[in-house]
């Protein structure tokens, strides 16, 4: 998922260790709702550019299931062999393939209409350098999309800092990029027509944390997703929403 470094290896070991917990999130109804909603919101700008898609850092591969009505071929890569094994077992289907691969060395045999990264850029030592490589995987006019945690809301930043201390399954070295930083990274990587969209005001905690009491949490998660669906459509949200949302969606076209 990232360039070769001590940090990347530490990250890979962590994801191997928590692979079962990561896969379990998408199998819990409350978390599944929020994670599928986050993915659909990430892809809003891509429109019809989803016939062939590549996911970098695919984890247990549930995006292949969530997006199944939008693509002809889906390729998922991840540096965790245990997560790829789970993805291959859970999501075997025509047009769907998974591969253990590192973004720094991965060489696809063909280009894709779009590629996306959910919560991946902030794990990388060299986001711009890796984004430059990603643009080579996408055909002209196609999309590169990323959904990233962002520091606009100080309360959320504090909550993430607390989680780093209290949750052994949460990466302690990840960072938060501002909307301005994300836009600059995409621009420096050579992408054009860059858009920045705040994402996740109430639903993100349900996407990130496996919660008990699913019979209670599932309807609450459904309400949270519905509220976010309304908020993310409001006028001016791309400006004021940056100071409130958990995440930022950044998208850009390959020239």
Higher pLDDT, 236 or 15: 236
Token pair recorded at residue 235? 């006028």
Domain extent at residue 24: 6-253
Quote the CA–CA distance of 139 and 55 in Å, as a whole number.
15
Q: Which residue from 70, 52, 59 is spatially nearest to 35, judged by alpha carbons?
A: 59
The count of structural domains within the chain is: 1
Q: Helix or strand or coil: residue 157?
A: helix
pLDDT of residue 160: 84
Q: Quick one: three-class SS letters along 24-35? A: HHCCCHHHHHHH
Q: How many residues does the chain have?
A: 255
Say if residues 185 and 150 touch (Cβ distance below 8 Å). Answer: no
Question: What would the mean pLDDT of 194-210 be, rounded to a whole number?
Answer: 95
Q: 73: which strand partners?
A: 52
Asked if residue 148 belongs to a domain, the reply is yes
pLDDT of residue 171: 66
Asked if residue 1 belongs to a domain, the reply is no
CA torsion 132→6→175→2, rounded to 10°?
Answer: 30
Residue 52's CATH number: 3.40.50.150
Quote the CA–CA distance of 110 and 218 in Å, as a whole number.
40
Say if residues 245 and 151 touch (Cβ distance below 8 Å). Answer: no
pLDDT band at 25 (very low <50, low <70, confident <90, very high): confident
pLDDT of residue 124: 85
Quote the CA–CA distance of 143 and 83 in Å, as a whole number.
25
Asked if residue 200 belongs to a domain, the reply is yes
Model confidence over 60-80: pLDDT tens digits? 999 999 999 899 999 999 989
Q: 99: which strand partners?
A: 77
Higher pLDDT, 120 or 173: 120
Quote the CA–CA distance of 210 and 144 in Å, as a whole number.
28
Name the strand (E) or helix (H) holding 247: strand 247-253
pTM of this structure: 0.91
pLDDT band at 238 (very low <50, low <70, confident <90, very high): very high
Question: What stretches of 113-178 show up as alpha helix (H) in DSSP?
Answer: 127-135, 154-166
**Is the pLDDT reported for residue 174 higher than 80?**
no
Say if residues 54 and 112 touch (Cβ distance below 8 Å). Answer: yes
Backbone angles phi, psi at 7, to 5 degrees: -65, -45
């Amino acid at each position: 998922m990232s360039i070769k470094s001590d940090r990347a290896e530490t990250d890979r070991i962590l994801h191997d260790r928590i692979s079962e917990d990561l896969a379990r999130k998408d199998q819990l109804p409350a978390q599944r709702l929020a994670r599928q909603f986050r993915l659909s919101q990430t892809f809003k700008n891509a429109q019809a550019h989803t016939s062939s898609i590549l996911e970098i850092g695919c984890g247990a591969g549930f995006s292949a299931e969530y997006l199944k009505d939008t693509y002809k071929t889906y390729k998922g890569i991840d540096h965790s062999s245990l997560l790829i094994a789970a993805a291959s077992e859970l999501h075997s289907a025509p047009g769907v393939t998974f591969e253990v691969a590192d973004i720094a060395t991965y060489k696809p045999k063909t280009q894709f209409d779009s590629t996306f990264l959910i919560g991946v850029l902030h794990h990388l030592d060299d986001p711009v350098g890796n984004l430059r490589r990603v643009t080579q995987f996408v055909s002209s006019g196609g999309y590169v999309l990323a959904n990233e945690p962002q520091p606009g809301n100080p309360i959320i930043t504090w909550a993430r800092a607390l989680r780093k201390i209290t949750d052994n399954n949460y990466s302690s070295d990840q960072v938060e990029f501002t909307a301005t930083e994300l836009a600059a990274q995409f621009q420096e990587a050579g992408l054009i027509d860059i858009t920045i969209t705040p994402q996740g005001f109430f639903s993100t905690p349900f996407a990130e944390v496996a919660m008990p009491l699913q019979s209670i949490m599932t309807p609450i998660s459904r309400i949270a997703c519905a509220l976010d669906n309304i908020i993310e459509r409001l006028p001016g949200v791309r400006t004021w929403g940056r100071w409130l949302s958990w995440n930022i969606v950044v998208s850009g076209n390959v020239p």
